């Protein structure tokens, strides 16, 4: 981890720790509030104490990061790559990958320490063939600055034997980029490739996304990134999204920590947003922490065609983001277990243009510091057959806004099995259903917050 990277993380941890020492509820000290806003002006919502104490390190610890067993190892240092100075080592890495490919596949081990790579004429630095795994454990891979509107530091585009990257830190050229246009500079991109695993890698400071799953380089929307596994990854400080799923089928994103995406929209921790004519289907997101992003913690954008299908969300925490914690739009057949939203600037969760969604458990606290009239802790708009099991909300801090905890508009078949409201006092109109909607609240419990 680089010094500047450690410094940014330390600032946020210091703010949270100070708040924990001062108070559990909201902020009891004007000095601590001033300190938090001063050191993190782009994310004023972190002035709220963190109820959920889970950390990124705890999330990442659940991943198993190791190269495939029984594969021949190819040392890049034998092909001219050593960690010494700002020179382009991409050609040496390419020679090692070609030797491994000729031998029928293998693990290409990059040198420990810091190395630099430059883009080729096509805008790619390292293109990984099928059957090749990059072992980057102990490597810091940095991109030499460029003026391209789009690039791929590591690219997967083949669809045959499994391939992947293990460990390491990738640092893009965001801080030194020579151009002003575009938003498509990716740390790792799977473009029409298949059977790819990305494990234990840190992807940061790219001109676009940390990790991108999408159609082939030709842009043909009928091509997909298929069977991609992202496990134990930290993606941070990327300019667009930290992780983007655009055209993909059978993807799995688990044990992931995403934070501080900011610079150009959508600025989300994870964004699932199919292209025109594209599709994102049969995805699993599990054990994820998304925080301090410029907009939403997790967002989907499937539109009226509901191009996001068969998505499963399990054990996801979205906190201290500068917009909604969860924004689920354009989805069909969504199944969610344990969604937690804390201290997000707008709604805790939004379901828009979505049908046939089941949320077994939702917990929200401290959301809505910048909520607008009509927005709720949970907002359901233009959707059908949305079912919630247990909804728990600590709503004391929302009393001053006089907004509903659950707001349902232009939606049919919305049910809440159990609604638990923790508050210093009962909020009037804590559930709002407009005249065009059909919603059922089966059980409501009011408890004084502890």
Among residues 186, 128, 136, which one has the least CA distance to residue 158? Answer: 128
Burial class (CB in 10 A: 0-12, 13-18, 19+), 71: middle
Residue 341 CA to residue 443 CA, distance in Å, equals 21
Q: What is the pTM assigned to this prediction?
A: 0.88
N- to C-terminal Cα separation, the chain? 39
Structural element, H or E, at residue 170: strand 169-171
Give the torsion through C-alpha atoms of 309, 310, 315, 320, to 10 deg.
0
Q: pLDDT, tens digit, for every residue of 236-295?
A: 999 999 999 999 999 999 999 999 999 999 999 999 999 888 999 999 999 999 999 999
pLDDT at 400: 42
Q: How many CB atoms lie within 10 A of CB 9?
A: 18
Whether the bond between 389 and the residue before it is cis, its omega within 30 degrees of 0, is no
Residue 81 CA to residue 98 CA, distance in Å, equals 14
Contact 414, 438 (CB under 8 A): yes
Q: How many CB atoms lie within 10 A of CB 57?
A: 10
Residue 341 CA to residue 429 CA, distance in Å, equals 21
> CA angle 166-171-174, nearest 5°?
150
Structural element, H or E, at residue 195: strand 194-199
- Tokens for 177, please give them: 């980029």
Residue 419 CA to residue 431 CA, distance in Å, equals 10
Contact 270, 243 (CB under 8 A): yes
Residue-level pLDDT, tens digit, the chain, 450 residues: 455 445 444 544 454 444 334 332 222 222 333 233 333 333 333 333 334 679 999 999 989 888 888 899 999 989 987 666 899 999 999 999 999 999 999 999 999 999 999 999 999 999 999 999 999 999 999 999 999 999 999 999 999 999 999 999 999 999 999 999 999 999 999 999 999 999 999 999 999 999 999 999 999 999 999 999 999 999 999 999 999 999 999 999 999 999 999 999 999 999 999 988 899 999 999 999 999 999 999 999 988 889 999 999 999 999 999 999 999 999 999 999 999 999 999 999 999 999 999 999 999 988 888 877 777 889 999 999 999 999 988 754 444 445 678 899 999 999 999 988 776 555 556 788 999 999 998 887 766 545
């Amino acid at each position: 981890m680089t010094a500047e990277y450690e410094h940014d993380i330390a600032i946020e941890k210091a703010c949270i720790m100070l708040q924990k020492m001062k108070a559990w509820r909201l902020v009891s000290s004007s000095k601590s509030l001033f300190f938090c806003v001063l050191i993190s002006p782009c994310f004023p919502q972190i002035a709220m104490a963190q109820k959920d104490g889970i950390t990124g390190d705890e999330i990442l610890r659940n991943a198993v990061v190791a190269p495939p067993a029984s594969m021949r190892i190819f040392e890049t240092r034998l092909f001219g790559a050593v960690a010494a100075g700002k020179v382009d080592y991409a050609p040496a890495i390419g020679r090692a990958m070609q030797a491994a490919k000729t031998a029928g596949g293998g693990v290409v081990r990059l040198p420990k320490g810091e190395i630099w790579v430059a883009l080729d004429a096509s805008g790619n630095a390292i293109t990984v063939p099928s059957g090749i795994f990059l072992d980057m454990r102990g490597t810091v891979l940095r991109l030499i600055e460029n003026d391209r509107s789009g690039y791929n530091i590591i690219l997967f585009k083949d669809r045959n034997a499994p391939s992947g990257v293990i460990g390491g830190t990738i640092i893009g050229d965001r801080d030194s980029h020579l151009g002003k246009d575009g938003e498509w500079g990716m740390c790792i991109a799977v473009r029409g490739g298949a059977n790819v695993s990305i494990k234990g890698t840190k992807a940061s400071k790219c001109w676009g996304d940390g990790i991108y799953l999408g159609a082939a380089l030709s842009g043909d929307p009928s091509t997909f990134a298929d069977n991609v596994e992202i496990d134990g990854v930290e993606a941070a400080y990327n300019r667009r999204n930290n992780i983007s799923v655009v055209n993909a089928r059978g993807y799995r994103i688990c044990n992931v920590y995403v934070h501080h995406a900011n610079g150009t929209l959508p600025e989300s921790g994870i964004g699932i947003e199919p292209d025109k004519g594209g599709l994102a289907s049969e995805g699993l997101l599990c054990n994820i922490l998304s925080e301090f992003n410029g907009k939403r913690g997790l967002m989907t954008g499937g539109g009226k065609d509901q191009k996001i299908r068969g998505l499963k969300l399990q054990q996801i925490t979205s906190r201290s983001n500068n917009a909604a914690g969860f924004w689920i739009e354009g989805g069909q057949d969504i199944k969610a277990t344990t969604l937690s939203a804390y201290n997000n600037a707008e709604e805790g969760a939004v379901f828009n243009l979505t049908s046939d969604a089941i949320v077994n458990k939702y917990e929200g606290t401290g959301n809505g510091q910048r909520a607008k009239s009509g927005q709720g802790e949970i907002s359901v708009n233009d959707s059908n057959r949305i079912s919630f099991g247990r909804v728990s909300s600590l709503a004391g801090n929302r009393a001053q806004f006089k907004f509903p905890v659950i707001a349902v508009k232009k939606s049919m078949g919305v049910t809440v099995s159990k609604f638990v409201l923790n508050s210093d006092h009962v909020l009037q109109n804590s559930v709002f259903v407009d005249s065009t909607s059909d919603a059922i609240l089966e059980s409501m419990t009011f408890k004084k917050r502890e």
